[in-house]
Amino acid sequence: MATEEDFDFGTHETLVLEVCDEDESELEEPLCNKSHGMYIDIRAMTDAVLPQEYRQPELLSLIKAMANLTVKIDVSYVSRMRPRNWQGKENAIYPAYEKRGERTKTSGSGRIADVYQDDNEDIRCYCSACGNGKSADRESWIIQVFTATHVVYDATEAEHSECLVFYDTQDGGYTSFKLVKKLWANEAGDLSLLAGATCDRGLATQLGIMIRDFNKLWKQIRENYVKDHDANDKERLVVVVSHPHGQPKKVSFSKLKRRVQKQIDKDKGCFYTYEACTCCGSSGAPVYIYGQDWFQDEIVHSGKNSRENYSTTWCP
């Protein structure tokens, strides 16, 4: 296994809209020098686009389930607390450092991990019908979201963030909820867990069913992978679902390149490298490595260099 000592962390892939105009993301995409032909529209996702050895009904269902839980995260303020350097490296500036204290719109991706009710937690729905969180008597559900720490850095940024759910097309057929709290974050590993809320019972129920289906599928694939004696001889598939350029979600995939060991305080973790297509707006997107145990290896997209893309770090 490689180590991070000589790893080039390159840059990260949040989308920064200079004039906070949603139409600007459409203008920015043609300027990108990456091949967008490698993206697959989620509506066009069939097993025929997968590598031959991975054309499995349960994997196709998993990818669609993962896409259902993928969100676009819009942040309208950049915290003054963002550090200057990426993990202390002098030649790497932390994303959006130069925008500290500004009301500049940035966008990334994330994945809904849980939805539940808990009246003991001070997390309320912030929609207009709920009086921006002031209507304590209204029923609400807490929604947890994983993303990269550099997408939503701290509690201040979380309070200025919104998640777009089911943003699959340009026709506006999506819903949204406000993020209100940072539950935890690991700056060195670039992984964070955020919380938002909704008063929409139908949305909460729908998300709960989707989470259950997603967990059932990855566990099923994991069990089959463990039983497969030839699994170690196969190149593992990596799947990324993201909102490149802040646009409707897309699927991309490649083979796994490397597993890189990383020391975080007293813990040893690892991150993964791959070549699945990503662009500005893909930071924080869920990354699935075929056969992974999601509870032991929670990762999202972190960044890229001139050779490869890489995930956040998870310490089991």
**Integer CA distances (angstroms), 229 to 108, 225, 246, 285, in order:** 38, 8, 41, 31
Contact 146, 68 (CB under 8 A): no
pLDDT one-digit tens code per residue, 137-161: 789 999 999 999 999 999 999 999 9
DSSP type of residue 118: -
pLDDT one-digit tens code per residue, 181-211: 999 998 889 999 999 999 999 999 999 999 9
Per-domain residue ranges for the chain?
2-69+230-311, 70-205
What is the pTM (predicted TM-score) of this model? Answer: 0.92
CATH of domain 70-205: 2.40.10
Range 2-69+230-311 has CATH code 2.60.120:
no
List residues bridging with 301 in a β-sheet.
311
Alpha helices in 90-200 (DSSP H): 155-158
Do domains 2-69+230-311 and 70-205 share one topology? The answer is yes
CA dist., res. 188 & res. 171, Å (int):
38
Q: What does the pLDDT average to over 273-280?
A: 95
pLDDT one-digit tens code per residue, 214-228: 999 999 999 999 998
